[in-house]
Structure 1
């Protein structure tokens, strides 16, 4: 069945896994940002990646710049997969989407995630409103270069530049107009991951994610900048699994199949 109009990607489904890991990409990113995680995750973890419209295999679709619309669509499609414990991980813009997704799922009767892992972003109530989405293309390009997530060669080619900037601008419009929804905080633990040279957030600001939950909060700093995830992939996945349940790495048991 075609997945062109669906919000979730499972590159290597593991139906017997004990845990589902739901990953949400950064502004301008897509599900393929997490594809390589499949090879380093233990077989006890089923990777589920969110695919925003307007990029990768959804390139022909209109992007969505409304946080509530994105969260509602992902929540509806994710609901049938919440038959076992799950963790939500989001990087940069994806951290805010992950937070609102966890609360939306809770509000319609699903359990909260075992843990929310927010990467490379300040707490939702701390993130200042931005105006990057209103800037011209050259300024938007400079912002992408500043953060280090896009090759200059891609942005130098006119056709590619136009395509990339269309959905990047959309995502900046989404996140820069977003403010935390007026709902109670989570109760699950929250972990915050970041690169030590990230220009957007540091360890002090990261601890302010304590505003988002009545549960515990911990912070882990990795070598690298805002896009530390790629070079630190194995260390990030290891830290994630250790925080959720170290026994997952030992492959102890599998989710019981339906009789």
Structure 2
């Protein structure tokens, strides 16, 4: 049981000065390793915890999940040992959507929330999905669409054997986004910062500002040079912004206060099974 729960999170050393845990949710097709460089480049009081979804990297033998509901339902119990300490969420693209729905369910089921949510490269969740439906395309047109998105290296796209390995998880991830249906709810009572790429033509600045609907705090929208994968193109700037956001927004101060509150309650949160 312990191994199963721990498999959701890449192992991360905890620094003695830790004040805040930062859960990082990857984009479609990505694994926890996309955040590997973050671990050493964030402040020592922020522990990076990359989320490892089924079907990739250390969990490559598992079947990928293809709905938000399945992912969040399985992820919440795995988070239970962690959320007695203050935490924040970062998610890019599909990861932003998973982070948002995870926060909603945490709030509903445990009353606990991230001290800050950073949603990157994703239109607000209530907006209609405007991109092409890709998850059920035949292999060749599916591969061509991946090439147009510029997120998969050409050497991978041309390796038929490798593509047969990674295609199921890519299809599952696209299905997560393409079949997601937003359910109306109250705004989250935690601050949000929204990141976007200036050349990400499918995620407009208006759609980023529309995240305001989902938090009771004023949002901050920050733009970076680059396309949809600006978090790699401008990695140093993005990491610097994350550190600044979590510090300047007083998230760490909130975290310190929350830590004192959490530490008085030794009960593990209980999650509804549905």
TM-score of the two chains, using structure 2 as the length reference: 0.85
In the alignment, what sits opposite 1:204? 206
SS in 1 for 2:36: helix
Question: CA offset at residue 36 of structure 1?
Answer: 0.9
The within-5 A match list for 1:185-196 is 185-196=187-198
Question: For the residues of structure 1 that align with 2:102 and 2:87, how far apart are their CA atoms?
Answer: 12
SS in 1 for 2:217: coil
Question: CA offset at residue 184 of structure 1?
Answer: 2.0
Per-residue CA shift, 1:31-63, capped at 9, x if unaligned?
111111012101100111111111111111111
Moved more, 3-12 or 178-187: 3-12
SS in 1 for 2:222: strand
SS in 1 for 2:80: helix
The within-5 A match list for 1:243-254 is 243-246=245-248
Note closer, same or farther for the CA distance 1:123–1:198 as it changes in structure 2 (3 Å cut).
Answer: same
In the alignment, what sits opposite 1:116? 117
Question: For the residues of structure 2 that align with 1:16 and 1:81, how far apart are their CA atoms?
Answer: 16
| Unaligned runs of at least 5 residues, structure 1 | none
The within-5 A match list for 1:235-250 is 235-246=237-248
TM-score of the two chains, using structure 1 as the length reference: 0.90
In the alignment, what sits opposite 2:269? none
The within-5 A match list for 1:22-171 is 22-128=23-129, 130-171=132-173
Does structure 2 retain, via aligned residues, the 8 Å contact 1:154–1:161? yes
Does structure 2 retain, via aligned residues, the 8 Å contact 1:89–1:119? yes
Per-residue CA shift, 1:10-44, capped at 9, x if unaligned?
33333641011011011111111111101210110
Question: CA offset at residue 4 of structure 1?
Answer: 9.2
Question: For the residues of structure 2 that align with 1:111 and 1:202, how far apart are their CA atoms?
Answer: 31
Does structure 2 retain, via aligned residues, the 8 Å contact 1:7–1:73? no
In the alignment, what sits opposite 1:213? 215
Per-residue CA shift, 1:188-245, capped at 9, x if unaligned?
1111111111132122221011121121111111111111112322211221121222
The within-5 A match list for 1:169-184 is 169-184=171-186
Note closer, same or farther for the CA distance 1:15–1:170 as it changes in structure 2 (3 Å cut).
Answer: farther
Does structure 2 retain, via aligned residues, the 8 Å contact 1:122–1:208? yes
Per-residue CA shift, 1:153-190, capped at 9, x if unaligned?
10101111111211100111111101123432212111
Note closer, same or farther for the CA distance 1:242–1:152 as it changes in structure 2 (3 Å cut).
Answer: same
Instruction: Give the ranges of 4+ consecutive aligned residues of structure 1 lying more than 6 Å apart after TM superposition.
Output: none
Question: For the residues of structure 1 that align with 2:215 and 2:148, how far apart are their CA atoms?
Answer: 31
SS in 2 for 1:230: helix
In the alignment, what sits opposite 2:266? none
